[in-house]
Amino acid sequence: MEKTEKTLNDLMDSNLYSRYSGLLSLSNISLQLIDTSGKIVQEFNPSPDFCKFICQEDETRICTDYISRLKPGKCDRFNCRYGLVNILLPVEVNNETIGYAVGAQVYTADSEYQKYLIDIMEMAKSKKLEPEFIAKSIAALKTIEENKIDIHEQICNHITQNICYDLSQSISTADKAIERLSIEKEMLEKKIIDLEAKNMSLVINPHFLFNTLNSIARIAYFEKSHTTEELIYCLSDLLRYNLKQEDELHTIGAEIDNIEKYLFIQKVRFKNRLEYEIDIADPIKTYRIPNMIIQPIVENALIHGITPKRDGGKIKITAEKYKDDIHISIIDNGNGFPKEVLESLQQSDNRLGIGFRSTDNRLKRYFGEDYGLKITKSDYSGSTVTISIPTKPNARRS
């Protein structure tokens, strides 16, 4: 056993995460590696703050709900006392369990109601924490579709099996190594295609970035720098949302939540020079739209409409349902698009024009030629850009 533990420690000292970064980038749901006593030895994707700072006795050890279920060789999927779905996968070498992969820590649609049953004030008293921090931590807990949890579990299973292979002395043939690498290569290539489609160039590992941001946020919390803490969490959420796969439709509500975080950050930057208002009825928020459609338009309104004005201005986002269509309008009371910018939108070799046309083409590719982007107003009193999508999308992607 001592030799096995040394091998595990050696693996932790090496760059374990980098081996599986391709797989891990396919899911932002929590995943950690623990030893048989419940001590966290590697954090792949971080746990929610609710689990880390409230449920766990300390940040280095998994919660008691997990510890009570640690049984050699046994996989488990269970709901904790607060209704969160959790997975538990043993890491075995030579038929001996030397640790576990644990994670998920999310709600499903069926269990989400349990978050609203948590007694915040009682928890704050027993944990000696601020009620506001607990409320924010609960609100940040994710609700995930059942099939996505299944996919995450498959990814975790694959990583766990590979860790077992890496630790086992019995893996000596090249064929098994090639088989393992070919699966990772296929999944990595898929992610690279997704990133290229979004015209991204990531020169820093996003997981490292998120972990760093969360660490800074924790320091800000303990130093009672609450604005800094919230800014960092907003930025982390923005980056995560930006990395979501582009070939999926997301709810308008999720898009707007992303926009609110973006505008919160900009509000801190511009202070009284920026005001914003979001007026979208809850029923409209359930309709679906490709991700990162609204944010570039809002950013453009800020850069070209609000920033040039000495006193700043206001951005308003509205949405209305008309027959079988949804119209989302981004309105600003800035100076309007400069003439050269309007002209550039018509030029195929201009970056800004490409950005607008790319967004318009994405919408048309999903929903058809009747939908897309339109600049419905641009003059000295401001600009209005309208996004039109159907209420019942019939994706036409090719």
pLDDT value for 256 = 93
Bigger pLDDT: 151 or 282? 282
Question: DSSP assignment, residue 363?
Answer: H
Distance in angstroms (rounded) separating the CA atoms of residues 348 and 377: 22
- Average per-residue pLDDT in the chain? 78
Q: Which of 83, 7, 21, 94 is nearest to 51 (CA)?
A: 83
- Give the tens place of pLDDT for each residue, 349-373: 444 454 677 788 888 888 888 999 9
pLDDT value for 385 = 93
Give the mean model confidence (pLDDT) for residues 280-297. Answer: 90
pLDDT value for 175 = 45
pLDDT value for 6 = 47
Beta strand residue intervals within the chain, DSSP E:
30-34, 40-45, 76-79, 85-93, 96-106, 249-251, 274-279, 288-290, 313-322, 325-332, 372-379, 382-390
Beta pairing partners, 138: none
pLDDT value for 295 = 87
338 pLDDT more than 70: no
Percent pLDDT > 70 in the chain is 71
- Give the tens place of pLDDT for each residue, 182-191: 565 566 556 5
Structure tokens at 247: 């070939």
Bigger pLDDT: 288 or 167? 288
* Radius of gyration, CA atoms only, the chain: 24
Question: DSSP assignment, residue 272?
Answer: G
pTM score, whole prediction: 0.46
201 pLDDT more than 60: no
27 pLDDT more than 60: yes
395 pLDDT more than 60: no
- Give the tens place of pLDDT for each residue, 41-98: 888 888 899 998 899 988 888 999 999 999 998 999 999 999 999 999 998 887 888 8
